[in-house]
Structure 1
Amino acid sequence: MPVSTCILCNSDDVQLFYTDQSEHYASDYYQCQNCQLIFAAPKDRPSTDEELARYETHENDPNDKGYRNFLGQLFKPLNDLLEPKSKGLDFGCGPGPTLNLMFEEHGHAVNIYDPFYADDESVFNKRYDFITATEVVEHLFYPRKEFKRLWDCLKPGGYLGIMTKLAENDKSFFANWHYRLDETHVTFYTQKTFQWLANNWETSVTFPGDRVIIFQKPE
């Protein structure tokens, strides 16, 4: 069944963007003409077991300098914005929570959440000075719901920091893009998508790196 509604902005102006008919991979991808989000058809999403099997292959070690450097792409610009002893939430911390430790080493307090590895929904009953989502939003089946939940958890003046590869509105790029070929990556954001989110939240957005996005909630 064709997709008729955007999973982020709820627009009905959605068009088939790309179909992969390769031998080992089959998926239809749609693009919203309103917010420019690109997403896999629901029929092509991985099962929970398939997701977990993929995540179990990740080697996220808090003692790995390379991994810390990778997370530093978001940590450094966001940490520079924070007041001392800020309270944060790392959303989608994965099997080896590390970003929370990096912030804690700089005097902040950070809760963690992950639906597979730290499934404590009580964290969403609190309010935070900052929230991080590193290499997470591309996995979301329901980004509209999750972004609202995170935004609602932010205090006025708080920051939402995201790390994800930005998509290009180009079919030949998308066809060969390694980021798409991870079967758990089902939702892809262009820069215009995040600009749409900023407009929806009546705020601005900055891009301090080629895969780093930071929003500030209005006071």
Structure 2
Amino acid sequence: MKKCKICDSSATAMTDTKTQKIYHKCLTCDYIFLDEVFYVDMQREKKHYDKHHNTFESLGYVRMFENIIEEFVLPCKEDIKCTLDFGCGEGEVLPILLEKNGMTCDRYDLFYFPKKVYEGKKYDLILSTEVFEHLQNPLEVLNKLLLHVEKNGYLLLMSAFHPNNDDAFLKWWYIRDITHIGFFNLQTFEYLADKLGLTIIKHNSKNIILFQKREV
């Protein structure tokens, strides 16, 4: 049995008969992760991202972020001045929309904005949308990000919550993306909140969750 990358508990294996890919599901926190032998290399990963057209010309993409800001960010706006979009991608849509709403926003992306502008800084809000499903070591990244969140600051993650059913998971469209290697659900995020000193402020039961860092 593999060990869970989130809670270090035992994980059971399941095989997608269509692709022969092997996934490991944690028995404790429900995190599911792809076996490492099926990872794509960074060159192929970058090539895959280059196919995305996530710009202001994509009206649905823009509207998605407008909805996120309206529902999850603006209710906390008086506490938020300085933000970071971690894994912003090439198009900068979310940072620009945040700036239009009166917040500053730094950009970081492994491939498109690789300068680690967040080093030595703290933020009232860090957003990471459609990023954590791509990470080989999500807990390590999450711990590093939280070092850059102010006390009582916020962390917003967007990643589709997996169906907690093996058959449904193996038929799920989200696992067909060759760069998606880790999958969360609400139970996983509840475990992380408890472990890392976070309070879940709000979620949509689908793909977005907002945490607040508790003051210690």
TM-score bracket for this pair, using the shorter chain length: over 0.9
Residues 156-187 of structure 1 deviation map (CA, whole Å, 9 limit, x = unaligned): 01110111110012111111100010010110
2:12 pairs with 1:15: yes
Structure 1: distance between partners of 2:2 and 2:119: 31
Name the structure 1 match of 2:81: 86
Q: Secondary structure at the match of 1:125?
A: coil
Q: Secondary structure at the match of 1:167?
A: coil
Residues 76-113 of structure 1 deviation map (CA, whole Å, 9 limit, x = unaligned): 22222122761000000111111011110011000011
CA 1:78 to 1:87, structure 2 compared with 1: closer, same or farther past 3 Å? same
Structure 1: distance between partners of 2:172 and 2:22: 15
Q: Which residue identity lines up with residue 136 of structure 1 in the other structure? A: V
Q: Secondary structure at the match of 1:184?
A: coil
CA 1:166 to 1:133, structure 2 compared with 1: closer, same or farther past 3 Å? same
Q: Which residue identity lines up with residue 214 of structure 1 in the other structure? A: L
1:12 Cα shift?
3.6
2:186 pairs with 1:178: no
2:147 pairs with 1:149: no
- Size of the alignment, in residue pairs? 213
Structure 2: distance between partners of 1:84 and 1:169: 35
1:204 Cα shift?
2.1
Q: Which residue identity lines up with residue 14 of structure 1 in the other structure? A: A
Query: 4+ residue runs of structure 1 moved beyond 3 angstroms?
Result: none
Q: Which residue identity lines up with residue 77 of structure 2 in the other structure? A: L
- Which of 203, 206, 215 is the matching residue for 2:211? 215
- Which of 106, 110, 133 is the matching residue for 2:105? 110
Alignment of 1:194-213 (within 5 A): 194-205=189-200, 206-208=202-204, 210-213=206-209
2:124 pairs with 1:163: no
Structure 2: distance between partners of 1:164 and 1:70: 13
Please tell me whether the aligned partners of residues 163 and 169 of structure 2 are also in contact (alpha carbons under 8 angstroms).
yes
CA 1:27 to 1:125, structure 2 compared with 1: closer, same or farther past 3 Å? farther
Structure 1: distance between partners of 2:89 and 2:117: 18
Q: Which residue identity lines up with residue 89 of structure 1 in the other structure? A: L
1:209 Cα shift?
5.5
CA RMSD across the alignment: 1.5
Residues 4-53 of structure 1 deviation map (CA, whole Å, 9 limit, x = unaligned): 221122x142211x21232xx33110011222100001111111011111
Please tell me whether the aligned partners of residues 165 and 210 of structure 1 are also in contact (alpha carbons under 8 angstroms).
yes
Moved more, 95-104 or 60-69: 60-69
Alignment of 1:31-46 (within 5 A): 31-46=25-40
Name the structure 2 match of 1:4: 2
1:72 Cα shift?
2.7
Structure 2: distance between partners of 1:179 and 1:125: 35
TM-score normalised according to structure 2 size: 0.93
Seq. identity, %: 30
1:212 Cα shift?
1.0
Extract unaligned runs of 5+ from structure 1.
Answer: none
TM-score normalised according to structure 1 size: 0.92
